[in-house]
Amino acid sequence: MTVHLSIEHCGQTLWLLPDKAIYWPSRKALLVADVHIGKAASYRALHQPVPRGTTTATLARLDELLLRYACEQLIVLGDFLHARTARTPATLAALQAWKNRHPGLKVILVRGNHDKHAGDPPAELGIEVVDEPLLLAPFALKHEPEAHPGVPVLAGHVHPVYVLRGRGRQRLRLPCFLLDQRVSLLPAFGEFTGGWNVEPANSTRVFVAGAEQVWALALPSSDR
């Protein structure tokens, strides 16, 4: 059983989910970033040997979260489709089947850098597509992690991961949420996305996701 972590941020209660998403109870909204649907298909188009089934797995995880939480809207903070080569018949059919399973769900995509190259999702999916920022008080919802004048930002793009180090030189890379009063980051949601090691600033709270839970890190002074 996965366990969410409820936190207070900028006057709002947010649930950090182990599946690398945020649930916003007062808005009944699920927030995800960097889904990268069809990335594996794009790599295969370049004759790169990559695993199959990542799009199916990503959509199945979305299904589970949408059913578990009272979601009226899904907000994607950029990079929904990975590239134009991701728009294969099989990928588009999987997306249509997924959307058909959630007919009453409002889906909003805040365009990211990959979306600008991949193009907007097919109109048949009924996804509302907007340029950043999407202002949803008290936040500015963006893809690029750049500050907004006077409004705290929730963003993606970076695919943040934090490296835990043990006494015996063990290393464990885990996706993480970085929460700051100006710009906060969500981990990448997609199955096939990779991650970027981050070094948090003094003012940033770090929450790592793994083993079906989320927990806050008390960072050593050397990381501060």
Q: What is the mean pLDDT of residues 144-156?
A: 96
DSSP for 126-162? --EEEPSPEEETTEEE-SS---BTTB-EEE-SS-EEE
Predicted confidence (pLDDT) at residue 85 exceeds the cutoff of 50: yes
Output helix, strand, coil percentages for the chain, rounded to the nearest 5: 25, 35, 40
Which residue in 118, 110, 54, 112 sits closest to 87, CA to CA?
A: 118
Domain boundaries, the chain: 5-223
**22, 174 in Cβ contact below 8 A?**
no
pLDDT digits (tens, 9 = 90+) for 184-216: 999 999 875 677 788 887 789 999 998 789 999
pLDDT digits (tens, 9 = 90+) for 13-47: 999 999 999 999 999 999 999 998 875 555 444 44
Q: How confident is the model at residue 172 (pLDDT cuts 50, 70, 90)?
A: confident
**209, 54 in Cβ contact below 8 A?**
no
The class of domain 5-223 in CATH terms is alpha beta
Q: What SS3 state is found at 173?
A: strand
